[in-house]
A and B are shown apart, each in its own frame.
Chain A
Amino acid sequence: MNLTLKIWRQRNNADKGGFKEYKVTEVSKDMSFLEMLDVLNESLTEKGEDPVHFDHDCREGICGMCSLYINGKPHGPLQTTTCQLHMRSFNDGETITIEPWRAKAFPVMKDLVVDRSAFDRIIQAGGYISVNTGGVPDANEIPIPKTVADKAMDAAQCIGCGACVAACKNASAMLFTSAKISQLALLPQGQVERKTRAEKMVAQMDAEGFGACTNTGACEAECPKGISITNIARMNREYFTAVVSSENL
């Protein structure tokens, strides 16, 4: 396959940046999307041009490091991570537009690399159960109904890639935040800090400058792990209950 790539290039955070076009030839259908970019980068380096910078690590769809807004969709045309996208999803002669995640809370660092540390700070605000190592009860002391554990797992599968933010017209991080709030609100171990957690994580999410939720459902439709917006509803419930009843003034 021969393709034209329209890629966002930006030297650093301060740079204005812009699109640049590249031709890639002899692309195999069996290549992954990122391998296609590897090939481009090899040829750019050989020519003495700065290779395109993009985030990636595990390349098996679980670390959440890869991003890319491909042809108008986060992680490209399939509901999967970019690293799991293969070139057979594209046609010969096609022009592919590649952009970084766009959000005030995700500043572009270089080319397609963005800073997602806002997500870490949301977790730091309360996405945990405060137990120290040691001194915990036996793992089987508290039975958890399978349906509840499964639901918690559904939410816990979030890989923190930020596709939800990219998909959302408001650059909202509600799917990400709600997935963690849900997971811990569902489990008995999470009850003690349940209210405080919801309050603090929502406050941090807002402080980071993510948008509000319009319930368009785009995040759920694009989430590579299929996290459901029922989690957002649960977060809302948790938050409203918390603000009216918690001890935090």
Chain B
Amino acid sequence: MILDSKIPDGPLAEKWTKHKFSVKLVNPANKRKYDVIVVGTGLAGASAAASLAELGYNVKAFCFQDSPRRAHSIAAQGGINAAKNYQNDGDSIFRLFYDTIKGGDYRAREANVHRLAEVSVSIIDQCVAQGVPFAREYGGLLANRSFGGAQVSRTFYARGQTGQQLLLGAYSALSRQVANGKVKLYPRTEMMDVVIVDGKARGIITRNLITGAIESHSAHAVLLCTGGYGNVFFLSTNAMGSNVTAAWRAHKKGAFMANPCFTQIHPTCIPVSGDHQSKLTLMSESLRNDGRVWVPATKETAEKLRKGQIKASDIKEEDRDYFLERKYPSFGNLVPRDVASRNAKYVCDEGRGVNETGEAVFLDFRDAIIRDGKNVISAKYGNLFDMYQQITGEDPYQVPMMIYPAVHYTMGGLWVDYNLMTTVPGLYALGEANFSDHGANRLGASALMQGLADGYFVIPYTVGDYLAQTPSTKIGTDHPEFKKAEKEVKDRVQKLLSIKGEKTVDHFHKRLGKIMWNYCGMARTEEGLKEAKKMIQELKAEFWSNVKVLGENEELNQSLEKAHRVADFIELGELMVDDALNRNESCGGHFREEYQTPEGEALRDDANYAYVAAWQYVGEGQEEVLHKEPLVFENVKLTQRSYK
């Protein structure tokens, strides 16, 4: 099978405009004859569901949370990028496009990224019209800030809760359509499978999380807006419920998974405090603007510190190693996320880490407080300092903060073409669930942009193109394919419940997380990945013979919910390892230790790996088949990133 990305011809800047004109339209009177299923109600899902309902399609929206407003988009803090150039500082659509491509280490499609930059401006207009209270200047116009090392101020924000406000905006648009009767909402409902009829996605199977009822839903198109799979690492900044199940079931039904090994590790998270840890909390990247990252210069000092024999303040200036400032004199503490994360790992691996676990580095505000005064620092970071204190019980004004990298975002996801359609006709993937726009590394404040771009401004055109070519005839849920899929789901439920093994679901999830973090995390090696693959296969076998899921299907059963998700994470984990093993280069969030420059920086191999790795599921127990979509760069010159 040859992957057809369906990128329109013509100059980069005209592709989307041209495409919008060339897509087929569904007659306004006919739109009501089409049903669209939207799974997930985060930024991508809620915006898509609302926009499609506004156009007149009948939408069914599903989420596993108790309300669409809880989707994990809500936790995004920093902001949303848009090439508005309100600040007159030289921003443009092309610059946002260029920054995103470069930031992604040249592993994203030019056409998709340019479209993203184009529609970014409309997103802000839309959100303001919905009543999103973005930060404003005294003159009443919108405020911007520079984010994640960008050289222009293009980030719009609503305090430290931009994701929340954007999601509530999309949720309000969705709620309006629910009231209008154009969207039927299914909260506390988990998608269990995609139903494919005559090669096209025609519906889904769901489980009602309250009653356990396994139900079928038929439609003309299915949109997966189900977010990322960072929880494959067990510990991540994702919400506890974030999972890969919907995407993975789609994958097993024929949708290719692209670049699954591309995960983003965020450097400034609160370190793990013990075995009980259930999730990690991110603190805004902005802390690195004033905080200095260091560890003790020697192992011995670090050891004393870990044992509590000395305090951080006892360590003299000359015994501290400000390793980022030392290695990257021009960028210092502001090196990109992947570089900062990797170097923190290195010093901890050397035995110089702090915290009782040895897996943390200091982020010290002492000098900043001396320089600017406590008030200035408090005005900038007060809420973050409070949050840190609430979680750790330590006062960062008095003692240095401790941070450690954590999994934050997954750039990989379902392979989609320019229309956001997966390799299964009628099955679409939007937002973090797809792979399309961030390449091997995502820039700060771009996730929100992509989710809303896909939902508000891309899918309404592209899904119409597909539906216009699809007969409006409905397929009943009594169709054999639905019945078959339903039975598969029920069998799987029964299987999980009947194992009655010894170990809890979380036990397996934690073990999987450890394998992934140690071998497929910040730094990967061929040897380690091969080892990991074996371990995951063993874990999978053990899971299916020894997992303990109590209770029954016909009730609210959180263990059963988790068991489904973890079973899928285990399979995904193996594919991530395969993907990381295949990619014999280092790029963005993917760092293979064998492929680095003499200075220890990521070494890309554009000649051999400038492609999207799209994996095809071919059957239980079989190796997945790799398909390559070559990446063609006509508008940017590929360069090596350097932050020295």
Q: Let me know if chains A and B touch directly in the complex, using CB atoms closer than 8 Å.
A: yes
Binding site for B on A (CB under 8 A): 11-12, 28-32, 34-36, 38-39, 42, 45-46, 48-51, 53, 55-65, 78, 80, 84, 86, 88, 109-110, 113, 115-117, 119-120, 123-134, 136-140, 142-146, 149-150, 152-153, 156-157, 159-160, 183-184, 187, 189-190
Q: How far is the CA of A157 from the CA of B163 in the complex (A)?
A: 11
| A59-B133 CB under 8 A given contacts A128-B172, A139-B124, A146-B140 | no
Q: Which residues of A contact B124 (CB under 8 A)?
A: 139
**A-B residue pairs in contact (CB < 8 Å), sample of 15:** A30-B392, A51-B559, A60-B281, A61-B387, A62-B74, A109-B210, A113-B556, A120-B175, A123-B175, A130-B176, A133-B457, A139-B84, A140-B141, A142-B128, A149-B135
Contact A117 B67 (CB under 8 A): yes
Contact A134 B126 (CB under 8 A): yes
Q: Which residues of A contact B273 (CB under 8 A)?
A: 28, 30-31
> Would you list the 5 A-B pairs with minimal beta carbon distance, nearest first?
A143-B140, A128-B172, A136-B129, A153-B133, A152-B133
- Of the residues A31, A124, A144, A190, contact of B140 by C-beta under 8 Å: A144
Contact B134 A159 (CB under 8 A): no
Shortest CB-to-CB span from B154 to chain A, Å, is 13
Shortest CB-to-CB span from A181 to chain B, Å, is 11
| Chain A residue, CB-CB nearest to B238 | A58
Shortest CB-to-CB span from A164 to chain B, Å, is 15
Encode contact with A along B45-66: 1 for CB under 8 Å, 0 otherwise.
0010011001000000000011
- Of the residues A32, A48, A64, A132, contact of B69 by C-beta under 8 Å: A64
A38-B278, A60-B75, A139-B84 given; 15 more Cβ-contact pairs under 8 Å: A57-B65, A57-B72, A58-B240, A62-B75, A62-B161, A84-B387, A123-B175, A133-B54, A133-B126, A133-B173, A133-B460, A149-B135, A153-B159, A187-B133, A189-B128
Q: Which residues of B contact A110 (CB under 8 A)?
A: 210, 555-556
Encode contact with A along B271-284: 1 for CB under 8 Å, 0 otherwise.
00110111101100
Shortest CB-to-CB span from A249 to chain B, Å, is 20
Binding site for A on B (CB under 8 A): 47, 50-51, 54, 65-72, 74-75, 84, 86, 122, 124-142, 158-159, 161, 163-165, 168, 171-173, 175-176, 178-179, 185, 187, 210, 237, 239-241, 273-274, 276-279, 281-282, 387, 390-393, 456-457, 460, 504, 506-507, 548, 550-551, 555-556, 558-559
| A140-B129 CB under 8 A given contacts A45-B548, A62-B164, A149-B135 | no
| Chain B residue, CB-CB nearest to A133 | B51
| Chain B residue, CB-CB nearest to A204 | B179
Q: Which residues of A contact B171 (CB under 8 A)?
A: 123
Contact A45 B550 (CB under 8 A): yes
Q: Which residues of A contact B138 (CB under 8 A)?
A: 146
Q: How far is the CA of A51 from the CA of B555 in the complex (A)?
A: 13
Q: Which residues of B contact A28 (CB under 8 A)?
A: 273-274, 276
Q: How far is the CA of A143 from the CA of B134 in the complex (A)?
A: 12
Q: Which residues of B contact A30 (CB under 8 A)?
A: 273-274, 392-393
- Of the residues A134, A159, A187, contact of B131 by C-beta under 8 Å: A187
| A137-B129 CB under 8 A given contacts A28-B274, A30-B274, A116-B66 | yes
| Chain A residue, CB-CB nearest to B507 | A42
Q: How far is the CA of A185 from the CA of B558 in the complex (A)?
A: 40
| Chain A residue, CB-CB nearest to B455 | A133
Instruction: Specify which of B125, B276, B277 lies most central, judged by the most chain A CB atoms within 10 Å of its CB.
Output: B276
| A50-B75 CB under 8 A given contacts A30-B392, A31-B276 | no
Contact A46 B555 (CB under 8 A): no
| Chain B residue, CB-CB nearest to A153 | B133
Contact B140 A127 (CB under 8 A): no
Contact A45 B172 (CB under 8 A): no
| A138-B176 CB under 8 A given contacts A34-B278, A153-B159 | no
Contact B75 A120 (CB under 8 A): no
Contact A149 B136 (CB under 8 A): yes
Shortest CB-to-CB span from A35 to chain B, Å, is 5
Q: Which residues of B contact A156 (CB under 8 A)?
A: 132-133, 158, 165, 168
- Of the residues A31, A109, A133, contact of B556 by C-beta under 8 Å: A109
Q: Which residues of A contact B51 (CB under 8 A)?
A: 132-133
Q: Which residues of B contact A140 (CB under 8 A)?
A: 86, 141-142
Contact A51 B558 (CB under 8 A): yes
| Chain B residue, CB-CB nearest to A88 | B393
Q: How far is the CA of A11 from the CA of B405 in the complex (A)?
A: 40
Contact B240 A123 (CB under 8 A): no
| A50-B551 CB under 8 A given contacts A56-B240, A63-B75, A120-B68 | yes
Q: Which residues of B contact A62 (CB under 8 A)?
A: 74-75, 161, 163-164
Q: How far is the CA of A190 from the CA of B391 in the complex (A)?
A: 38
Q: How far is the CA of A187 from the CA of B136 in the complex (A)?
A: 12
Q: Which residues of B contact A63 (CB under 8 A)?
A: 65, 70-72, 74-75, 239
Q: Which residues of B contact A129 (CB under 8 A)?
A: 129-131, 172
- Of the residues B65, B130, B142, B392, contact of A65 by C-beta under 8 Å: B65
Q: Which residues of B contact A132 (CB under 8 A)?
A: 51, 54
- Of the residues A39, A61, A146, contact of B276 by C-beta under 8 Å: A39
Q: Which residues of B contact A160 (CB under 8 A)?
A: 67, 69
Shortest CB-to-CB span from B239 to chain A, Å, is 4
Instruction: Specify which of B66, B67, B142, B559 lies most central, judged by the most chain A CB atoms within 10 Å of its CB.
Output: B66
- Of the residues B139, B176, B241, B390, contact of A143 by C-beta under 8 Å: B139
Q: Which residues of A contact B504 (CB under 8 A)?
A: 42, 45-46
Contact B274 A146 (CB under 8 A): no
Contact B66 A117 (CB under 8 A): yes
| A80-B390 CB under 8 A given contacts A60-B281, A62-B164, A109-B556 | yes
Q: How far is the CA of A159 from the CA of B241 in the complex (A)?
A: 17
Contact A58 B161 (CB under 8 A): no
Shortest CB-to-CB span from B540 to chain A, Å, is 20
Q: Which residues of B contact A31 (CB under 8 A)?
A: 273-274, 276
| Chain B residue, CB-CB nearest to A38 | B278
Contact B72 A131 (CB under 8 A): no
Q: How far is the CA of A142 from the CA of B54 in the complex (A)?
A: 24
Shortest CB-to-CB span from A91 to chain B, Å, is 15
Q: How far is the CA of A187 from the CA of B132 in the complex (A)?
A: 9
- Of the residues A59, A127, A189, contact of B279 by C-beta under 8 Å: A59
Shortest CB-to-CB span from A39 to chain B, Å, is 6
Q: How far is the CA of A88 from the CA of B279 in the complex (A)?
A: 18
Q: How far is the CA of A189 from the CA of B133 in the complex (A)?
A: 10
Contact A139 B75 (CB under 8 A): no
Q: Which residues of A contact B158 (CB under 8 A)?
A: 153, 156
Contact A45 B559 (CB under 8 A): yes
Q: Which residues of A contact B178 (CB under 8 A)?
A: 120, 124
| Chain A residue, CB-CB nearest to B141 | A140
Shortest CB-to-CB span from B236 to chain A, Å, is 11
Q: How far is the CA of A208 from the CA of B133 in the complex (A)?
A: 28
Q: Which residues of A contact B129 (CB under 8 A)?
A: 129, 131, 136-137, 189
Contact A84 B550 (CB under 8 A): no
